[in-house]
Every structure is written in structure tokens, then in C-alpha cells.
Amino acid sequence: MQSDDIAWGVIGKGQCAYKAPSKTQMFCRNEFNLTGLCNRASCPLANSQYATVREENGVSYLYLKVVERSHFPKRLWEKMKLLKNMTAAVKLIGENLLHWSKFVRQKQD
């Protein structure tokens, strides 16, 4: 999306509170970042459609960010509880990310 490109243009070249530089590369401290690296593909701020898996109090959740919720910042992320069975959890993630980018799908599996 064009707005995603504009957001990354500002974040990638300018200031971002989540950037953490090192001698060799730039890291990201955003809790929703997939890889921990500061780059266009794994930046949750510069992608309208984004997903990540997080653990809270021993329970895993799939967080989905969709463009349709962008006008409701408080409800921007949809939180889905994953089953403790790894096979069932991976199947649920695959079903929910069926038409998403290959980068996001591969990082979740």
C-alpha cells in the first residue's frame, strides 16, 4: 500500500523510538516485531497487514493487524488464543494467514 511506503520512508530514514543501533545492523525493540530487526518487511508500524505470535502468562496468542481496523487504534490488533497442541496451533495460524504475504506466513510456522 502507498501509505505503508510513506510510513516506512519516514521510519526507515528518520527517527523511530524503537530503533536500537549496533555496530553491524539496526535492531527494533517493538514488541510486535517478527524478527527483531529494523527492516521494511518486519516492521509492524509500516505494514497495514501484519501478524505475530506472542506469549502472555504461559498462553500463546496470534495477533493480527488488519487495515480495516486502522481507524480504531485501540482495536487495531485482533488477539486469538492458540491451543497448547502445537499441531492444532500451527493449523489455526495457517488458516488465518492463508492469503497473507509469504514472509509473514513463513515466520509464523
Q: Which of 51-65, 68-82, 86-100 is the most confident on average? A: 51-65
pLDDT digits (tens, 9 = 90+) for 1-16: 568 888 888 888 888 8
Alpha carbon distance 48, 41 (integer Å): 11
The count of domains in the chain is 2
| Residue range of the domain that includes 29 | 1-47
Beta strands 59-65; 77-81: pairing state: antiparallel
Q: pLDDT band for position 60 (50/70/90)?
A: very high
**Are 56 and 77 found together in one domain?**
yes
pLDDT digits (tens, 9 = 90+) for 47-56: 888 888 899 9
Query: Which pLDDT does position 13 carry in this prediction?
Result: 82
**Are 43 and 63 found together in one domain?**
no
**Are 32 and 76 found together in one domain?**
no
**Are 55 and 103 found together in one domain?**
yes
**Are 42 and 54 found together in one domain?**
no
Segment 47-76 shows an average pLDDT of 86
Segment 64-92 shows an average pLDDT of 87
